[in-house]
A and B are shown apart, each in its own frame.
Chain A
Amino acid sequence: MQLVAMIFFISSAAVCIGLSGIEFGSVYFLCILFILSCLLIFITKKSTTIQLLPQRNSPPSTPWSRKKKVKFLYYTLALFFLCGLCGVVLTMTLARLLIDSLSTQLAFSALAFPVFWALASVWLSCTDKLLRTSIMMTFSCALMFGGIFIL
């Protein structure tokens, strides 16, 4: 069954690309995939009468402590400045290592940096040791920034 699905998946991508070219075809394929899967989901949906979900009964919110406010402010700033810098510098270092042409390096960096920025922010938002992670990020940023000039 999985093999049939895989064959169907690949052949429909091939048809789309064959008919509309690699650029339009791949976008069309992904759009069609979304539409078809949504249709399938709606066709196979299970109707139920009442669905009561467990609730947390969390206590009413209290004013934030000073420590929490500082942490929130630091986290917001780090998410923008530190993760941003980290993402951009990491992308450029990778581009310098992997690609020859300077203009292609820059184009790759321009399109890939949001992903690395987001990855850095995921890391920062998951860690328990916010300060240690930030110091590591800063240190690696400085290292990679030097690397960009040396490479």
Chain B
Amino acid sequence: MIIMNKINLKKTIVKKMFDAHSSVGLAVGAIMYLICLTGSLAVFYPEFERWEQPNVAEYNEFSSSSVSQAYQEYLSKVEVPEKSVYVVLPTAEVPRAHLSDGEQEWWLNQDGTLGESIRKPWTEMLQELHVQLHLPKTLGLVIVSFFGIMLTHLVISGVLTHSRIFKDAFTLNWGGTGQKQQIDLHNRLSVWGLPFHAMIAITGAFFGLVSILVIIAASAFYDNDREALIADIYGEEPIITNAPALNVERSFANMAIADKQATPIYIVVQNIGSEKQFIEIAATLPQRLIYSEIYQFHADGEYIGQQGMANGPIGRQAVYSVYRLHFGHFGNVAVKLVYLVLGLALTYISVSGINIWLNKRGRVDNVNYLWCGFVYGTPLALSASLMASIYLSISAYWSFWLTLIFCLVIARTVKNLSKIRTTLLMTTAATLLTTIIGYTLIYGKLVLIPAITTINLCILFYVIVMVLHSRQLRRRDKIMAS
């Protein structure tokens, strides 16, 4: 009797979890797909930035005198300088330096003179779609972070729903109509990618929603002084008065003495041109996930100390490690590729979750057509905005949303799943192929730069995958019809 009760209780819990998992999954699935797909691609944003402006000088060495020259050029160019002015140094993935004041950005020539303004419309569109869904910044960030919470919810309820988690750990039924294959892949990818998905969800939620915690903690412990709280977590800035003239070269020389293992990634002059100005150099440390350690200097280059990101309180180190962990920007290119695969796996999970529900409904209506149009229309919209930003200099934002809406209208009008899929897939392939051809014609020999060639080859590979996938879908449709 007790055993029977236990079995019934377990069944009830699993049933409730399953209902919670499916209702939340259905509510957030579409936006989750958008966030996951753009996030997977955004791992490669430095490479896309290079691809969008291939005609910028590339180099691996950028001397401290060039940095100094860049600041002089900046000060002579702008009338009122911004508070913080950054010079981001060349790295292996982006072998070009740039200067940014938060409002404007320029590429830098190797001698430190200002080059072209940075123009990366498509990459910017992609990043903003992932981070804020093209909504006003704070609102968008909070909403996207809330989806991080919902992803954590789905991870937890998904695990509790899965009663055969260990028994079926390696089971995959492949082929046929693809329905069973879809369920198996949804479950297997979710289970094995669980640590990654949980990490992405938690770190993603952290970015936008930590402000709630800041408000409560500031009122509880810091007399509503939020800046004091942030300084306590991330470390304080030095208080400078009567700052001497700027000497960037000396700060770099002192930096090399202070920490031999550190690799500088950017330098920032805070309060530039004022009596409070000082220098900060951010540098990565080997085998550390922290975004960077920050070394502080007086304006004349005299060493003040480090902010303690690498050796400060454990909490500070943990919080500052969140960024690289979420973006996948550590180690080498293999890590980025793995992040791409894991991100695409999460994208597949988002789509297959809704597909499973749609298949179980036992009917095909407008929801199916619109969902199909949305899933296959998003890559087309991304491709179309890429093409538009290269050929026509049309806003990448408008071209993305207009194409997506167009795809939904087409899907609603055609009312044939097989036709919608094939048409959108083949149009995506054609758009990308046209983009590559046009890009080659516009930039000529520059496409031979290894990094640019690699991206072009990846796009071509994706085109082939699209064509093959289209054939596979046609085969499945035939089986379904029979």
Chain A contacts to B: CB under 8 angstroms: 20-21, 23-24, 27-28, 30-31, 33-35, 37-38, 40-42, 44-53, 55-58, 60, 80, 84-85, 88-89, 91-92, 101-111, 113-115, 117-119, 121-122, 125-126, 145, 148-149
Contact = CB atoms under 8 A, between A and B. Distances in A.
B170 A122 contact: no
Contacts of A102: 221, 232
Interface string B173-209: 1111111110100001100110110000110011001
A114 B148 contact: yes
B288 A109 contact: no
What are the 9 tightest A-B residue pairs by CB atom distance, in nearest-first order? A107-B315, A55-B362, A21-B287, A118-B152, A104-B315, A114-B205, A125-B20, A51-B180, A51-B176
Interface stretch (B122-130, B296-304, B335-343, B424-432): B335-343
A88 B212 contact: yes
Contact of B174 (A27, A45, A126): A45
B170 A118 contact: no
B2 interface: no
A106 B153 contact: no
Contact of A117 (B176, B205, B325, B342): B205
Contact of A34 (B192, B202, B212): B192
A117 B152 contact: yes
B76 to A, nearest CB: 42
Given A52-B179, A103-B316, A107-B318, A114 B152 contact: yes
Given A31-B342, A58-B362, A148-B220, A110 B319 contact: yes
A47 B174 contact: yes
B322 A118 contact: no
Contact of A114 (B174, B202, B330): B202
Contact of A24 (B233, B318, B331, B479): B331
27 contacts: A20-B331, A28-B331, A31-B196, A31-B335, A34-B193, A34-B338, A40-B170, A41-B170, A45-B173, A48-B174, A51-B173, A52-B177, A53-B180, A56-B361, A58-B361, A58-B362, A84-B209, A91-B213, A92-B217, A103-B233, A104-B313, A110-B319, A113-B213, A114-B205, A115-B202, A125-B23, A126-B13
A46 B172 contact: yes
Contacts of A145: 216
A103 B313 CA distance: 8
A48 B359 contact: no
Contacts, number: 203
Interface in B144-174: 146, 148-150, 152-153, 155-157, 160, 169-174
B360 interface: yes
B20 A106 contact: no
Question: How extensive is the interface on chain B, given as a class?
Answer: 35 or more
Contacts of B362: 55-58
Given A48-B180, A55-B359, A106 B213 contact: yes
A18 B315 CA distance: 24
Given A45-B172, A56-B360, A111 B192 contact: no
B229 interface: yes
A110 B213 contact: yes
A109 B171 CA distance: 38
Contact of B149 (A21, A34, A38, A114): A114
Given A24-B287, A113-B213, A117-B149, A106 B233 contact: yes
A37 B180 contact: no
A85 B359 CA distance: 37
A114 B202 CA distance: 6
Nearest to B217: A106
Given A28-B331, A114-B206, A109 B213 contact: yes
Contacts of A89: 216
A70 B173 CA distance: 42
B111 interface: no
A88 B306 CA distance: 31
A148 B195 CA distance: 31
B314 A104 contact: yes
A109 B318 CA distance: 11
Given A52-B177, A84-B212, A145-B216, 9 more contacts: A34-B192, A34-B196, A51-B178, A56-B362, A103-B233, A110-B206, A125-B157, A126-B13, A126-B19
Contact of B170 (A44, A52, A92, A114): A44
B463 interface: no
Contact of B177 (A28, A51, A88): A51
B176 A109 contact: no
A33 B192 contact: yes
Contacts of B150: 118, 121
A61 to B, nearest CB: 8
A46 B192 contact: no
Contacts of A110: 206, 210, 213, 233, 319
B17 interface: yes
Contacts of B172: 41-42, 44-46
Contacts of B24: 121, 125
Interface in B458-476: none
B116 interface: no
B365 interface: yes
Given A53-B359, A103-B232, A125-B153, A60 B319 contact: no
